[in-house]
Amino acid sequence: MNKKLKMGMVGGGQGAFIGSVHRFAAALDSEIELVCGAFSSSPEKAISSGKELGITDRRNYASYEEMFEQEMLLDEAERMDFVAIVTPNHMHYPVACAALNAGFHVISDKPATLDLDEAIKLSKLVNKTNLLFCLTHTYTGYPMVKEAKDIIRQGKLGKLRKVIVEYTQGWLSEAQDESNKQAAWRTNPAMSGISGCMGDIGSHAANLAEYITSESIEQLCAELTSFVPNRLLDDDGIALIKMSGDINGILHASQVATGEENNLTIRVYGEKGGLEWHQQEPNSLILKWLNEPMQILRTAGNNTSISLVNTRIPMGHPEGYLEAFANIYRNFAQAIRAYQQGKDASPQTFDYPGINDGVHGMAIIEGLVKSHQSDEKWFTLNN
């Protein structure tokens, strides 16, 4: 039996949402254990958070710089194998660079960096160090998303024509005060970057469209809006997109769609048929055919091995967000084990979002903003 991989964490302390999600996902398959961390930019809060999580005092660090420095001094059998970065966006790049330079693999919450320039620099460092980098685009981990990708890969829909993807939420429909930590940093350009809604959830929608179709967004025509008075970043956006493979599409994201929860939906249409998937009903994949009855495939049903290997429980039991997140962690863990054995550890082999996804994702965010600001109808991505 393989020993558990040892994970460190930067961010994700008291009051954070995504840190606990990463910890749940990492622990789900019993392949990974959290052994150390620097859980806040505040030294006091970092230490207090680590104590709550049961981290031993000698590996409960006041800063990420201290953590990398001290972990490097430990014996290989004890030191962490990789670090999870779960900070606001503006800290992704400096922490990832410090980790890679210290010799540690990285799994990071998305987006990869604050801007495209940082993403390109980070990509060069990943390649230079030859270490592994994973980006947690959660929704690629769902079994029926993988099923949809495989159906398209087999050509069952014929030549693809159109993609419609949208991600709507309503939680930012009103102005939020500073006590709402999640809203405070997401609406702050210094911490979030040049885009709010599109950077936060529009990037997920774009990544999902590219993952399922195995094609890339190449051009876009966007309009972004800040509906809430005095909000500095967009809280709504829509874009026409052109993808490789001569696919046209629509990308829509909103955090002011009042009453919506996490309504991520994608529809893909080809010459022979189409498919539809809803994140809020993730166990179903709808197939629509040109001259045949509609089908509904269910998770753990009579599907391909690709979706079944990403399912943990018998059909009919609800399985969702945390499990999808855990699939990314499991695949990354398997890639690290392969790396340690001198074997192929590529994202293509182990199916996890990598640094190239991070760079292209930042190019999309930057392209959406530039298209919105431009008088030109179409903006060509440069990455």
Q: How far apart are CA 311 and CA 319, in angstroms?
A: 8
Q: Cβ distance 106 to 131 under 8 Å? A: yes
Positions in the chain whose pLDDT score sits under 70: 1, 178, 302-304
Q: Please check whether residue 109 is in contact with residue 91, taking contact to mean a CB–CB distance below 8 angstroms.
A: no
Give pLDDT, residue 178.
Answer: 66
Number of domains in the chain: 2
For residues 180 and 229, membership in a common domain is answered with yes
Give CA–CA dist 125/123, Å, rounded: 5
DSSP states of 140-208:
GGSHHHHHHHHHHHTTTT-SEEEEEEEEE--TTSS---TT-HHHHHHT-HHHH-S-SHIIIIIHHHHHH
Q: Do 89 and 155 reside in the same domain of the chain?
A: no
Residue 319 lies in a domain: no
Alpha-carbon gap, residue 19 to 238, rounded angstroms: 29
Complete edge-to-edge strand list for the sheet that includes strand 32-38: 32-38, 5-11, 82-86, 105-108, 133-135
CATH number of the domain where residue 28 is located = 3.40.50.720
The answer to the question of residue 321 being in a domain is no
Whether residues 226 and 334 fall in one domain: no
Residue 179 has a pLDDT of 74
Q: Are residues 10 and 89 in the same domain?
A: yes
Same domain, 106 and 176: no
**Domain assignment of residue 383, yes or no:** no
305 and 226, same domain (yes or no): yes
Same domain (yes/no): 96, 236: no
Q: Domain limits at 162?
A: 141-312+362-373
Say whether both 147 and 94 belong to one domain: no
Q: What is the reported pLDDT for 309?
A: 83
Q: CA-based Rg of the chain, rounded to a whole angstrom?
A: 21
Asked whether residue 318 is domain-assigned, the answer is no
Residues 246 and 297 in one domain: yes
Q: Are strands 284-289 and 295-298 parallel, antiparallel or unpaired?
A: antiparallel
pLDDT for 233: 97
CB of 16 within 8 A of CB of 103?
Answer: no
CB 82, CB 329: distance < 8 Å: no
Give the pLDDT score at 109.
Answer: 97
C-alpha of 290 from chain center: 33
pTM: 0.94
